[in-house]
Every structure is written in C-alpha cells, then in structure tokens.
Amino acid sequence: MKRTDIIIDYKGAQSIIEVKVWHGQEYNRRGEQQLLEYYHLKKGYMLSFNFNKKKQTGIRQIMQDGRLLVEAVV
C-alpha cells in the first residue's frame, strides 16, 4: 500500500482525496497519476493548494480509462 492523504468511508463507499501543494505541472501530473493507480476506485479527488499570485483556481474533471478524477485548485 502507498501512503494516502485522506480516505473517507461512508455508507460502504470509499473516497480517496490526495492533498498537494502546487510545485509545477509535472508534480501535479504525478499526483493525478498516483490517484489513478488506486485500481479499485471509479472516482478520485485531488485538492491542490497553489500559492502563486497568478494561479488559476477552480475545479476540473478528467476522465481516464473509465475513471473520473475531480481536481480542485485553491
């Protein structure tokens, strides 16, 4: 098993939330890939904290291999 930031078990369903600090696009891509490696999940979440002055905040959804990654940048 790998280290995970937050695991939520609710009514028999499990959600995983990766929490990252923005260190560039490549670091962000690795975080997305880390979430997608949890083979049993159909949906994963990533919360990224970006302290850059000209950051782009918001929520985006990525579909890959039939799985959904929801990413929020704050």
Q: What is the pLDDT of residues 51-74, one digit of tens each?
A: 988 888 999 998 988 889 999 999
What is the rounded CA–CA span in Å between residue 67 and residue 33?
12
Its pTM stands at 0.79
> Residue 39: its pLDDT value, please?
63
Q: Judging by DSSP bridges, how do beta strands 67-73 and 43-49 pair with one another?
A: parallel
Checking if the pLDDT of 47 tops 90, the result is yes
CA–chain centroid gap for 16, Å, is: 8
pLDDT-above-90 percentage for the chain = 28
Across the range 32-46, mean pLDDT stands at: 82
49 — pLDDT class (breaks 50, 70, 90)? very high
